[in-house]
Chain A
Amino acid sequence: MTFSDFLLLFSGMGLVTYLPRALPLLYLAQKKLPQWLIDWLSLIPVAILSALLAPSLFTDSASRSFSFGKTELLVAIPTLIFAIKTRSLGGTVLVGMLLFWLAEKII
């Protein structure tokens, strides 16, 4: 592929990525939102985080099948407890990494 092939492809990808990021902001930020929408949107972050995390902890991505007891899940339990107790983002990231590193060495 030439420079202009890449430029064309990535510009297209960039455009279809940028529009869903920009349009709700440009449109909704100028409006007074109804209370039901604000209430609904306030539940979106917790829902998205859960939906991003849960399949990575409970399924095997290669075979796309249910998997209980993956290293990721076993490490997630102490990491979760650490996060609840300390409420420290940086600390949780480091503890999670450390535990995962150790777990991979042992298992």
Chain B
Amino acid sequence: MAKIQDQTNATLRDGAAAAWPICLGYFPIGLSLGVLAQKAGIPWWAVAMMSLLVFAGSAQFICIAMLAAKASAPAIIMTTFVVNLRHLLMSSALAVHLSGLSQRFLTLFAYGVTDESFAVNMTRFRAGNWDRWRALVVNHLANFSWLVATVSGGFVGQFVPEGAFGINYALTGMFICLLVFQLQGRIYLITGLLAAGISIVWYLLIPGDSYIVGASITAATLGYLLKCRYRRHK
């Protein structure tokens, strides 16, 4: 019994150690979402419901902007669908590390797949010493802090000075470091540079959020083709 307890504690501790940068980064974003929701006349319990049922940062911001502009529910749902299609790619990449697990576990795990938890968990899975339970702890801690941050935004958001302690940079800093962890060879560096260039051009030319999925797929495919070519020439 004591041994199981120790293992559970270790899982929670490792999960929390991996998740804290996400939770920190979610606070300024969640608070500002709460403030915007309050200004748009959305009650706090509706914000809580949205953070629990949807749990997707950019879609929730868009939803509030669209509600404030009196958009229809089908239009908001369609937009949400398109904005969140990028998770298809992330879940596919995660599937490599979660193969053969029960449908029940995967059903629970899928709920917490976000840009941030994906990046943290993929990095850890790749480094080894990571398992599905630690990954699940990361997902759900991130979700919990998102819920707390978005709801409290409606109450305390306007009293927090904008940009205090550079907290708006937390997620950018985290993504920079996770990107460094991913650079495990020349082909990864090339793919990353391709994705950066393509995403900027795509972002400037095409309205909406398709640049994330579009640039990722294009860059990964080009990187893959380059890798195949390089292998053949060797």
In the complex, whether B2 has a CB less than 8 A from a CB of chain A is no
B94 to chain A, nearest CB (A): 6
The answer to whether A11 touches B204 (Cβ under 8 A) is no
The answer to whether A58 touches B119 (Cβ under 8 A) is no
* Interface size of B as a range: 35 or more
The answer to whether A29 touches B220 (Cβ under 8 A) is no
A10: chain B residues within 8 A (beta carbon) = 46, 49-50, 53-54
Known: A10-B53, A25-B94, A93-B173. A50 touches B199 (CB 8 A): yes
In the complex, whether B131 has a CB less than 8 A from a CB of chain A is no
A14: chain B residues within 8 A (beta carbon) = 53-55
The answer to whether B192 touches A49 (Cβ under 8 A) is yes
The answer to whether B24 touches A93 (Cβ under 8 A) is yes
- Cα distance A74–B95 in the bound complex, in angstroms: 36
- Cα distance A44–B99 in the bound complex, in angstroms: 17
Interface string of B205-234 (1 = CB under 8 A from A): 001000110011101110110010000000
In the complex, whether A52 has a CB less than 8 A from a CB of chain B is yes
- Cα distance A51–B78 in the bound complex, in angstroms: 23
In the complex, whether B181 has a CB less than 8 A from a CB of chain A is yes
Count chain A CB atoms within 10 A of each CB in B93, B96, B98, B198 and give the residue with the most. Answer: B93
In the complex, whether B159 has a CB less than 8 A from a CB of chain A is no
A66 to chain B, nearest CB (A): 6
- Cα distance A58–B201 in the bound complex, in angstroms: 10
- Could you list which residues of chain A lie within 8 angstroms of chain B, going by C-beta atoms? 1, 5-14, 16-18, 20-33, 36, 38-59, 64-66, 72, 75-76, 79-80, 83-84, 87-90, 92-102, 104
Task: List 20 A-B pairs, Cβ < 8 Å.
Answer: A5-B73, A14-B54, A17-B55, A17-B59, A18-B110, A29-B95, A29-B98, A31-B99, A38-B96, A41-B92, A44-B92, A47-B217, A49-B192, A55-B199, A55-B203, A55-B211, A87-B180, A93-B24, A98-B165, A100-B169
